[in-house]
Amino acid sequence: MAVRPIYLDYHATTPVDPRVVADMLPYFTERFGNPASRQHAWGWEADEAVERARGQVAALINATPGEIVFTSGASESNNLALKGLCETRRERGRHVITVATEHKSVLDSCKRLATCGYDVTVLGVGRDGLVDLDALRAAMTPNTILVSVMAANNEIGTLQPLDAIGAIAHEHGALLHTDAAQAAGKVPIDVRALHVDLLSLTAHKCYGPKGAGALFVAKAKPRVALAPQIDGGGHEHGWRSGTLNVPGIVGLGRAAEICREEMPAESARLRALRDGLLEGLRARLDGVLVNGTMDRRLPHNLHVTFDGVEGEALLMAIGDLAVSTGSACSSGSQAPSHVLQAIGAVRDGGGASIRFGLGRNTTPDEIAYAIDRVATVVASLRSSVARPR
């Protein structure tokens, strides 16, 4: 059997933590009830598990359990937040603001809103990937009802100043939605302190199962209402109908609990490994350019461009490292990353860009191997390009 590559693509997905699996297993077999079945013990037991998970997810972001709506993942949560909010507030205004570096589930939802008569402003970002707060203020109008800015970018790891963004939105009577799929469980999030009204997250980015996610919907100051995007049954406050994925929800709750407890130590460990990776690459190679800022960045993210190297050639040559050139959700596209385009990192003559995503199972030995492997391959590729024919 072939040796599997070293996994450094934790932004794409994460393995389910064994502790999460252990909590989920009984809900596939012994405790298989439907939480909507209120007439017997199987249903009560499942409902108790769902409510326990609701509390665990709420605790991760300083929300209340009643503000958590379970979904199939962050993409569904983003769709429900943007489309559901705009439908309920359309009489107040029809202007939405978002950012060019958002996940496609936000950008495409905004495109759909534009076809339904909404005015959408897409703000650019600087080379650091950060939103210009003055540009945001200038874009606000009396008709602005929603600002959607992701907490952490899924490619370059940039952490946006949500507290300042939320304050600007609220000052103008608008609400703030944030896609926190990459940030939840990795960095502290307090929806109250950050002025966040809607927040999307998913289990599989934080060592939980695929197919389970949540949307935080504020219940006070202001109380947010949504128009459901899935009808039939009135589950989840009537905002998301469908039989609940109890094992997945249990897994999401346990994953959130573990992240909340272990985040400080894990973040420090990963930041040290990430910084060591960058230092090691720069010690061996010239022309290693960091995409995005290092000052406001996810602790486990490094996105770099290697000058003088073609991207596909580099990825093929380092096949024993599982890394990415960008978002897993757009991996089938040959077009340049819209995030790199937005920060001006796509240039004529290019260079190979790689996203390194470190995780709970990443070891110092793996980082040392990655440094040596990438440095050796990049030097070889540059040499072959420079060699006269």
Question: Do residues 38 and 144 share a domain?
Answer: yes
Question: Do residues 175 and 311 share a domain?
Answer: no
User: Among 86, 110, 116, 329, which one carries the catalytic annotation?
Assistant: 329
Question: Do residues 236 and 361 share a domain?
Answer: no
CATH number for 343: 3.90.1150.10
State the total domains in the chain: 2
Question: Do residues 254 and 318 share a domain?
Answer: no
Distances (CA, A) of 213 to 126, 181, 204, 228, 305: 30, 9, 8, 16, 32
Report residue 222's pLDDT band, with 50, 70 and 90 as the boundaries.
confident
Instruction: Specify if 252 maps to a domain.
Output: yes
How far apart CA 74 and CA 60 sit, in angstroms, is 16
Instruction: Specify if 1 maps to a domain.
Output: no
Question: What interhelical angle do 246-284 and 41-61 show, nearest 10?
Answer: 30
Q: Which residue has the higher pLDDT, 308 or 168?
A: 168
In the predicted model, what is the mean pLDDT of the chain? 93
Instruction: Specify if 345 maps to a domain.
Output: yes
Question: Do residues 268 and 240 share a domain?
Answer: no
Which of 213, 238, 258 is the C-terminal boundary of a domain?
A: 258
By C-alpha distance, which of 11, 336, 310 is closest to 158?
11
CATH number for 110: 3.40.640.10
- pLDDT at position 385: 67
Percent of the chain residues topping a pLDDT of 70: 95
Instruction: Specify if 93 maps to a domain.
Output: yes
358 pLDDT above the threshold of 90: yes
Question: Do residues 219 and 337 share a domain?
Answer: no
- pLDDT at position 345: 85
Q: Is 292 left (phi over 0), alpha (psi -120 to 50) or beta?
A: left
How far apart CA 267 and CA 256 sit, in angstroms, is 15
Q: Which residue has the higher pLDDT, 134 or 309?
A: 134
Instruction: Specify if 86 maps to a domain.
Output: yes
C-alpha dihedral sign at 339, 343, 349, 350: negative
CB atoms near residue 381 (< 10 Å): 18
1 pLDDT above the threshold of 60: no
- pLDDT at position 336: 76
Domain that holds residue 156: 18-258
Question: Do residues 88 and 67 share a domain?
Answer: yes
Question: Do residues 131 and 279 share a domain?
Answer: no
Question: Do residues 201 and 297 share a domain?
Answer: no
Question: Do residues 115 and 232 share a domain?
Answer: yes
Residue type, 223: R
- pLDDT at position 331: 46
Which of 202, 234, 258 is the C-terminal boundary of a domain?
A: 258
Rounded to the nearest angstrom, the gap between the alpha carbon of residue 223 and the centroid of all alpha carbons in its chain is 25
259 flagged as catalytic: no
- Tell me the longest C-alpha to C-alpha distance in the chain: 80
Summarised one tens digit per residue, pLDDT across range 151-166 is 999 999 999 999 999 9
Instruction: Specify if 332 maps to a domain.
Output: yes
**Tokens 């939605």 label which residue?**
177
Question: Do residues 247 and 353 share a domain?
Answer: no
By C-alpha distance, which of 262, 260, 248 is closest to 208?
248
Which of 195, 229, 258 is the C-terminal boundary of a domain?
A: 258
Question: What interhelical angle do 74-88 and 104-115 show, nearest 10?
Answer: 30
Question: Do residues 218 and 359 share a domain?
Answer: no
